[in-house]
Structure 1
Amino acid sequence: MSSRRAADSAMSSPEADSPPSLQRRLLWRLTLGIGLLLGMLFIALDLLLDLAMYQRLDQFLAARADAFSVQLQRRGPADLDTLLAAYDLAGHTEFFAIYDGSGRLQTKSGNSAGGAVPLPRRAGASLHYDTVLPDGHRGRALALPLSRGGWLVLATERESWDRTERRMHGIMAGGIVLAILLAVAMCLLLVRHAFRTMTEEGRRLAAMSPEQAAQLHVDHLPREMQSYARAVRDALERSHQALERERRFSRHVAHELRTPVAEVRLAVEHALREGDAPALRKGMEAALCANARMERSIHALLALSRWESGLESPEPDPLDLSMLLRQLIEASAVPWAGLPPVQLQGPPSAWVHSDTGMLERILANLLHNAREYGDPAKPVQVQLRLDADGYRVCVSNAAAEVRAEDVVRFGERYWRGGDRDADRHHAGLGLALSQALASALGLQLVFALEQGEVVATLGPLPAL
């Protein structure tokens, strides 16, 4: 029972459930693949070697047999001893035998001792075949029919050829094993080198603090791993950007709500301390005003967070930009005291392809800021023009007190110009939200100071 529990625990351990390592997979797959390839190459070379060896032996036997048969026809059987004196040498590696038409042995070489080269059973035309020689060695023989009838059988020993073939087999087998070892070793070294760089990058990323942006260096990695490394780098960058957005949102919420909350507390404390109806009314009005400021700040921050994080995406449709501008100007033409009028210059129609809601919010914010901070004696100019790359909307208003260094900060969050607490009716997020919406639409929102006027240019919007 204890051994069974040990086996069950071993099978359920993380090591038993973990997949095999890449090096082990590469090891056995390379060994199998290269072994199969080189094994087939070994078989092909062996077949070619055997074929060449047999061709060489058969050519040698055919030449000797032709010369022997010609001499035999010229001299006759009586001169066989003189003709084949060379075959009487002891230990000679060539043998012969002559059979009559019925397959009976007539004569044989002297070195055949008590045996003779056998005649094959299916002797018809000339035939090459393997046989066992009279001295017990393996040999190659040729059975050649004679013109006067009968058979000439000539054989030679092939032991030296077999030894050469065995040496070739050993050399090829050793070469195959060496090639497999070298290939596997080189591949494993390359894999270890590639993963060593990844491991070093992992250690470097693990040592970084949460405040640092995770930067994964991919240029020194192998080409096959760079696509994966780039995907990991992009994912880390997106995670860091999301974390920064959350941190920025938290900081901004805490920063913006701190002053209104303090104002509400002071108003309520003052109203309670005074105790009369006018003081209570004044305190409630101050609390409502602070609450409105908090609500505007929260809505603007949430909108910025949604657009920057990609939770909301543009839904472009065909729209008439000229008509949209006219509608916005008419809606903002409420006769408020101290606000300048708005004048529009542009074609009667200008069809573009964009998100109507997002574009309307950008233009409404630009018009509102231009009237809010412009000179009441000079009208706000709105110009719609068609350039080579599309339509552009220019909103300009007189701003004698604005400096060039102020224009650079347009679109910066919570910047209200000069003293940040000078204007308590604005959260300082309108232009930042417009910049984020323009970026989501693929547009450029540029601010410039030209001859005492602030000019906001939005575009280009491709014409339909």
Structure 2
Amino acid sequence: MKWVNPLKPASLHGRLRWLVIVVLAAVLLPLGVLSFKRTAREVGELSDGRLAQSARTLQVLIAQADLEALQRRDPDRVLVPIEAGLIGSPPRQRYTYESEVGFQVFEPGGRLALATANLAGMPPPQAGDADFQDVWLGTYRWRVFTLRDAASRVVIRTGERYDSRDEIMHAVWLEHSLPLLVGLPLLALLVGWAIRRGLRPLEALTRALSSREPGSHEPVLLRDAPLELQPVLAALNEQLTRLEDALERERRFSADVAHELRTPLASAMINLENAMASADPAEVDLALGSAQHVIGELARRVEQLLALARLEAGAASGQRMRVDLTAVATGVLEELAPVIAESGVELSVARLEPQLLVHGYEAALAALLRNLLENALRHVPAGGQVQLSIERGEHAALIDVIDDGPGIPAERRASVFARFRRESGSRGDGYGLGLSIVQRAAQLHGAAIELLDSPYGSGLRVHVAIPLPH
């Protein structure tokens, strides 16, 4: 059978309840034991003091009453009777401790002169006996105190049966243990109620999360949330926002892929079917060439979609680091060298800072530069020019890509960052995804991006300012 630790229950409520009960028991039980021992010691000292006081009272009374006169009235022994019928009486009858206390008085010669009936048979004290001692008489144990009168040489002994003390100790034990025996279960119930009430904000949070609509961007709110729960709510809302954004990116990416790949695939399939159906070699070559061109465009479009998906993920798994923007630009220029040569466009570098460090993601910065140059090359007709400039500003790294193409009217510049937005006059894809990638990369770096008029008189100037690290 597997043992289950009650301190590790499945519910937080049960765990807190048991922990509180165990802590209270660990504190209250030792305190109760210590208090009981201290009270027992004080009761014993008080009872011993009462015996000593009784002996000294007898000493005064005997001195005043004249012990010899008492002896003349009863030459053998003066016995103080004890009402024996009281011993063992039913509990509901009047009870007295008379049978449980007594005294003895010994004359100078050691002869018993005066005693209560219940202590008459106790042997006289010896010379070396202590003031307080325990003496057995029959089946009872007595606590006795011996007082020796130096003037009269009379010895007075008072005694108390331990029955009386035991009854007092039982009462003390009940007084100390009953609150614990009754209080701990009651305390457990009250603690359970208090914990349930204290955990109501968690129950409210559970209900809020259960009733939350899938895809909702509304934050989870709790009225009068405790201070300890507010950081949890803030972190939870942040995580939910990130999750919803990630899901939204996935949904958008799936829609983008379906939208962008459907037409090229259909075009490639048609061209291939035409090539297979035609017997004319010229038509076959033309159809295969068209299919090859479409598949090439398709590959490029897939690459752009993947780049956009990576950027929209916000480089969540990567750490921002210092990146040499000049080195990134040099790599992009080398990568695009075949495209530049094929386009027939003159690409010049007006300024390239020797070393320009920014804080960010190398892949995102490369995608930003690559798409800016590709978009400019596609828009500029053969024989046109594109100029790249990268320099250090006062607080930012400044990137300028300038062309002398047809440009974009000022009223439409804000809308070209939308996905799949294409301007007329572009070659190939135009502004389908390129500027969306540029905008997302700029957002990841807290950069500002502007579309301005080209200094060539026609065309476009794209200006990007990336904050420099402090």
TM-score by length of 2: 0.70
Q: State the one-letter code of the partner of 1:304.
A: L
Distance 2:299 2:124 in 1: 112
Q: In the TM superposition, what is the alpha-carbon distance from 1:255 to its structure 2 partner?
A: 0.7
Match of 1:444 among 425, 443, 446: 446
Q: Which shows bigger deviation, 350-359 or 59-68?
A: 350-359
What is the CA-CA distance between 1:303 and the residue it aligns to?
3.3
1:304 equivalenced with 2:336 (yes/no) = no
For 1:51, give the aligned amino acid.
Answer: R
For the Cα contact (< 8 Å) 2:328–2:365, is it kept in 1? no
Match of 2:91 in 1: none
Does residue 31 of structure 2 align to residue 41 of structure 1? Answer: yes
**1:183 aligned partner:** 187
Which among 390, 414, 419 is matched to residue 413 of structure 1? 419
- The answer to whether 1:65 aligns with 2:55 is yes
Q: Hey, what's the Cα distance between the residues in 1 that align with 2:379 and 2:234?
A: 46
Q: Within 2, Cα distance between the matches of 1:270 and 1:48?
A: 107
Who is 2:258 aligned against? 254
- Which position in structure 2 is the counterpart of 1:369? 375
Deviation at 1:80, TM superposition (A): 5.7
Letter in structure 1 aligned against 2:370: A
Check the 8 A contact 1:132/1:139 in 2, yes or no: yes
For 2:445, give the aligned amino acid: L
Cα–Cα, structure 1 residues 377 and 267, in superposed 2: closer, same or farther, change >3 Å? closer
1:430, distance to aligned residue in structure 2 (A): 2.8
* Kept in 2: contact 1:385–1:393 (CA 8 A): yes
Give the direction of change, closer, same or farther, for the CA distance of 1:396–1:32 in structure 2 (3 Å limit): closer
Following superposition, the deviation at residue 253 of structure 1 comes to: 1.3
Q: Where in structure 2 are the equivalents of 1:196-235 lying within 5 Å? A: 198=202, 201-202=205-206, 205-206=209-210, 210-212=214-216
Say whether the 8 Å CA contact 1:304–1:433 is kept in structure 2: yes
**Residues 218-227 or 58-67, more deviating:** 218-227
Which residue is 1:98 aligned to?
105
Distance 1:159 1:98 in 2: 23
Which residue is 1:385 aligned to?
Answer: 392
Matched, 1:124 2:124: no
Matched, 1:145 2:151: no
Question: SS state of the match for residue 444, structure 1?
Answer: coil
Q: Which runs of 5+ in 2 are unaligned?
A: 73-78, 84-96, 455-459
Q: Please state how far the C-alpha of 1:258 moved relative to its aligned partner.
A: 1.1
User: Which residue of structure 1 lines up, in the alignment, with residue 290 of structure 2?
Assistant: 286
Distance in 2 of aligned mates of 1:25 and 1:170? 31
1:43 Cα shift? 1.6
Q: Root-mean-square deviation (CA), in Å?
A: 4.8
The one of 170, 173, 178 aligned to 1:174:
178
Cα distance between partner residues in 2 of 1:122 and 1:404: 124
1:271–1:332: structure 2 CA closer, same or farther, 3 Å change rule?
closer
Report if the CA contact (8 A) 1:216-1:229 is conserved. yes
Per the alignment, residue 154 of structure 1 pairs with 158
Distance in 1 between residues matched to 2:273 and 2:331, nearest whole Å: 46
Inter-CA distance 29–316: structure 2 relative to 1 (3 Å threshold): closer
Equivalent residue letter for 2:148: P
Give 1:172 shift. Answer: 3.2
What is the rounded CA distance, in whole Å, between the counterparts of 1:401 and 1:228 in structure 2?
48
Supply the distance in 1 between the matched residues of 2:127 and 2:230 (Cα, whole angstroms). 71
- Segments of 5+ residues of structure 1 without an aligned counterpart are 1-10
Deviation at residue 297 of structure 1 after TM alignment: 1.9
Name the aligned partner's letter for residue 41 of structure 2: L
Pairwise mapping of residues 237-248 of structure 1 onto structure 2 (< 5 A)? Answer: 240-248=244-252
Distance 1:275 1:427 in 2: 38
The answer on whether the counterparts of 2:446 and 2:466 sit within 8 Å (CA) in structure 1 is: yes
Instruction: Report the CA distance shift for 1:267/1:125 in structure 2 as closer, same or farther (over 3 A).
Output: same
Residue 256 of structure 1 and its aligned partner are, at CA, apart by: 0.6
Question: What is the alpha-carbon distance in structure 2 between the residues aligned to residue 253 and residue 427 of structure 1?
Answer: 16
Q: Is 1:456 matched up with 2:446?
A: no
Offset from partner CA, 1:89-145 (integer Å, 9 cap, x none): 86694632124688x552224xx13643846878736523466899x9987531223
Question: Partner residue of 1:6?
Answer: none
Deviation for aligned residue 1:242 = 4.4
List per-residue Cα deviations over 1:373-395 (Å, max 9, x = no partner): 4798786462422434xx41232
Distance 2:148 2:318 in 1: 96
Identical-pair percentage: 22
SS in 1 for 2:421: coil
Looking at structure 2, the residues matched to 332 and 268 of structure 1 have their Cα atoms a distance apart, in angstroms, of 30
Give CA deviations for 1:155-196 in whole Å, capped at 9, x if unaligned: 357877765554443343332134312332233234445666
| More moved, 281-290 vs 67-76 | 67-76
Decide which moves more: 123-132 or 180-189: 123-132
- Aligned equivalents of 1:386 and 1:172: distance in 2? 81
Q: Provide the TM-score with structure 1 as the length reference.
A: 0.70
